[in-house]
Amino acid sequence: MKRIRGSDILRRWRAVGLLALAAALAGCAGPRLSQPDDAQLAEEALVAFFADLQAGRYAQAAEAYAGTYETMIDHNPSLDPADHAALFRNACTINGAQCLEVRSAELLPTVAAQEFRFEVEFQLEDGAVFVQGPCCGGSETDFPPVSAFTYTVSKGGDGRFRILDMPVYMP
């Protein structure tokens, strides 16, 4: 019978310990590799923004919006211009903004750091694709129907993603 020295046992335990440590570290690194990238987070912010508008969660939508309120203020002179939730409420319910659920969002080529552009299609309640037809007595020749709209999402200094464009408007 071969005798095992104490130093051999110590070496084996060190090897086992190092293997266990390596496995634990590999387990910690795994989730980091699957973290969503900024483009995915921007898309999620865009989809959530329109879901909030569609569901009437106007305060949450206003928090995710960093675009201009000028048109909404012009359409609602009786509202406080600082009441962004009320401006979105009126835009979606009486002013013609199409606050619809996102059907698809395709990432477009990036033109600026920390900004992401998407080509977005919306869906109606029955699941059909939303199509913006000609406006104000115009013909389809003058104003061809549109079903895809470009939206920009910007990553702010605080790390949050905000939408820069208003919902599609139909008078």
Task: Kindly state the average pLDDT of the residues 148-166.
Answer: 97
Global confidence as pTM: 0.76
Same domain, 96 and 107: yes
28 within some domain: yes
Q: How many CB atoms lie within 10 A of CB 99?
A: 22
**Residue 171 scores a pLDDT above 60:** yes
Same domain, 54 and 19: no
Domain, as residue range, for 144: 38-163
169 within some domain: no
52 within some domain: yes
Round to whole Å and give the CA distance between 25 and 157: 31
Same domain, 27 and 88: no
**Residue 2 scores a pLDDT above 90:** no
Task: Kindly state the average pLDDT of the residues 153-162.
Answer: 96
79 within some domain: yes
Same domain, 86 and 151: yes
Query: What is the number of domains present in the chain?
Result: 2
Same domain, 142 and 88: yes
Strands 161-163 and 115-123: unpaired
CB 84 within 8 A of CB 69: yes
| 111-151 confidence digits (pLDDT tens) | 788 999 999 999 999 999 999 887 766 777 777 889 999 99
Higher pLDDT, 70 or 21: 70
Q: What is the CATH number of the domain that holds 84?
A: 3.10.450
Same domain, 125 and 56: yes
Same domain, 91 and 120: yes
Task: Kindly state the average pLDDT of the residues 46-58.
Answer: 98
Same domain, 87 and 144: yes
Same domain, 19 and 86: no
Same domain, 26 and 55: no
Same domain, 25 and 67: no
Task: Kindly state the average pLDDT of the residues 8-17.
Answer: 47
Q: Amino acid letter at 35? A: Q
Task: Kindly state the average pLDDT of the residues 57-82.
Answer: 98
